[in-house]
Amino acid sequence: MTATDDRARPAERKPAQIVDMSWDPITRIIGNLGIYTKIDFANREVVECRSTSSLFRGYSVFMKGKDPRDAGFITSRICGICGDNHTTCSNYAQQMAYGVKPPPLAEHIVNLGEAAEYMFDHTIFQDNLVFVDFCEAMVKATNPGLLARAERTGAPHAALHGYRTIADVMRAFNPFEGEVYKQALKVSRVTREMFCLMEGRHVHPSTLYPGGVGTMPEPTVFTDYLSRLLKVLDFVKQAVAMNDDVFDFFYEALPGYEEVGRRRILLGCWGAWQNSDVCDYRYETMDEWGRAMFVTPGVVVDGELRTNSLVDINLGMRILLGSSFYEDWAAEQPFVTHDPLGNPVDMRHPWNQTTVPAPQKRDFDGNYSWVMSPRWYDRTSGEHLALDTGGGPLARLWSTALNGLVDTDYVKATGHSVRITLPKSEKLPETTLEWRIPRWSNTIERDRARPYFVAYAAAMAFSFLERAQRLVRGGDVRVFEDFDVPDEAIGCGFHEAVRGVLSHHLVIKDRKIANYHPYPPTPWNASPRDSFGTPGPYEDAVQGQPIFEENGPDDFKGVDIMRTVRSFDPCLPCGVHMYLGKGNTLVATHSPTFGASHG
């Protein structure tokens, strides 16, 4: 069974020339992801793909027995990139379990921190990691004919960003030398400072707790944040224009490039930024406050909104083993049989999961990855859908646009687009950007959505600042609400990590954690073939895609494949951690100056 319909292929096909090729580890990300392919060089296409991870994640094992109030601090260490997203989501789950609602100002502070995180992470990933695959140096090495055309093609938004041709834009992204590459690093520093003003420390927050925050809400905290936000606004506006110019050029110059990384539209978004006017963290009202989020949750199937109910999203989650290195837990006793509304909870739901690692030799005809296979059960079709996150922004924008619920002074969802208004900045006037629902869920549209969502996050930051400052001026500076840990409870938190859907599922018994499972975007995107034979999103997007690189097998760099994998913003720590076995000892040596005298 495949997740994506077969792509159109030329009627005249040459005898296949199949070559096995692998990239392990994938570079420019945390190095635990391997992509193994079979490529038909005669017909210029990928005929098979396997996504592997060589490390085991263990957080769901050692969280058991811990004080649940420590969960946010522990789970932030899952990742050195988006740890704050885990802390936030964990606190959401705890607040449901404890029955506590933080004061409004605390919610605004968390939202401001998460907005800064989206701006920081998306900028550094898009401009310093993803765009290396589209920069002049890479295009020259893989598609010299395309670069020659880029030299002759004017940039449509040259008046806005200042680069005359498409090749000039590509040069600006050359690593370590390009002007935009260097400028993005400065923007990332400023946006990280914005984050630290709200959450204390990056990337493991020191001021986020269940029940509120420890940030001192002095007026200068918000003005310091605002001054930095205004400082990066010109870059945010220009980045959207530069990305649009390059990506539109690829479609025009390489007919058929829309097929690179294309898969069936199966997008999941769990929503972001709680609305303190509505959210009370009660499971019974979760659908109401979920729809009030400032990024609207939703499951999008074949371009249509299947649901925006967080209750439906929660109950539909299934953790399948498929081709992963684990033993089944289906015969064990469930932790949770029914949700607080009385709905039955499946044995393969994260609330009932038990992680039992089973190390073994990698076998592409059997088990080959430490990543499990999360799926969403669609009651309408009876399918276990291999949802992906579109790298985060594509699913967030698509779901928000279709829902048409977000309506603020800065961001409005129209039903077919998202309009983002950014105020006047140092060089550029007030600007309204509009992200429109695209025809495809593919490599370019995942990457294109990213700078638009940076603009979305910047716009919402203005909204959160205004709300926070109104409270402070009115004298309401409460940032914490006390609570008691119950003897028994369950909770679930829904949030958007930078690269997509994030949920934490908590079971408390005897005031301790009885079961805890965080489900970040990586297991959804990087999953191997599941129990039904359905490939995971990385596999599905790469498998069957055409190859446009001009190099042959001997000097093949796989740039089209790498563009596809990186378009999902892969980050493997959320999916895997080291498994040592019994009695093994791991010794790590850090030598900061090792190699300093080389050359």
Query: Annotated binding residue at 574?
Result: yes
Neighbours of 201 (CB within 10 A): 14
Question: With contact defined as beta carbons under 8 Å apart, do 388 and 445 qualify?
Answer: no
Distance CA 168, CA 524 (A): 37
Q: Where are the alpha helices (DSSP H) in 369-433?
A: 393-403
Question: With contact defined as beta carbons under 8 Å apart, do 356 and 350 qualify?
Answer: no
Distance CA 563, CA 282 (A): 41
Residue 440: how many CA atoms within 13 Å on its side-chain side? Answer: 20
- Sequence-distant (≥ 6) Cβ neighbours of residue 276 within 8 angstroms: 102, 104, 107, 108
HEC letters along 518-553: EECHHHHHHCCCCCCCCCCHHHHHHCCCECCCCCCH
Q: What share of the chain is helix, strand, coil (3-state, %, to 5)?
A: 40, 20, 45
Query: Annotated binding residue at 89?
Result: no
Outline where DSSP puts E strands in 344-437: 373-378, 383-385, 411-413, 417-422, 431-436
List, as own/partner pairs, every contact residues 549-558 make where C-beta atoms lie below 8 angstroms and the sequence separation is at least 24, other chains included.
549/142, 549/143, 550/142, 550/143, 550/144, 550/145, 551/142, 552/41, 553/19, 553/21, 553/39, 553/41, 556/21, 556/39, 557/141, 557/142, 558/21, 558/23, 558/37
Assign 158 to helix, strand or coil: helix
**How many residues comprise the chain?**
599
Local structure of residue 295 (DSSP, 8 states): B
Query: Annotated binding residue at 82?
Result: yes
Angle between the N-to-C axes of helices 83-98 and 104-128, in degrees from 0 to 180, rounded to the nearest 10: 150
Residue 575 buriedness (CB in 10 A; 0-12 / 13-18 / 19+): buried
Question: With contact defined as beta carbons under 8 Å apart, do 279 and 110 qualify?
Answer: no
Assign 28 to helix, strand or coil: coil
Nearest to 301 by CA among 390, 385, 392, 406: 385
Q: In what order do the strands lie in the sheet with 33-40?
A: 18-23, 33-40, 45-53
Angle at 544 between CA 543 and CA 549, to 5 degrees: 95
Query: Annotated binding residue at 571?
Result: yes
Distance CA 315, CA 328 (A): 20
Local structure of residue 454 (DSSP, 8 states): H
Report residue 467: phi and psi, to 5°: -65, -45
DSSP string, 102-147: --HHHHHHHHHHHHHHHHHHHHHHHHHTGGGGTSHHHHHHH-HHHH
Distance CA 205, CA 317 (A): 28
Residue 589 buriedness (CB in 10 A; 0-12 / 13-18 / 19+): exposed
**Residues annotated in a binding site:** 79, 82, 571, 574, 577
**Residues annotated in a binding site for Mg(2+):** 577
**Residues annotated in a binding site for Ni(2+):** 79, 82, 571
**Residues annotated in a binding site for Fe cation:** 82, 574
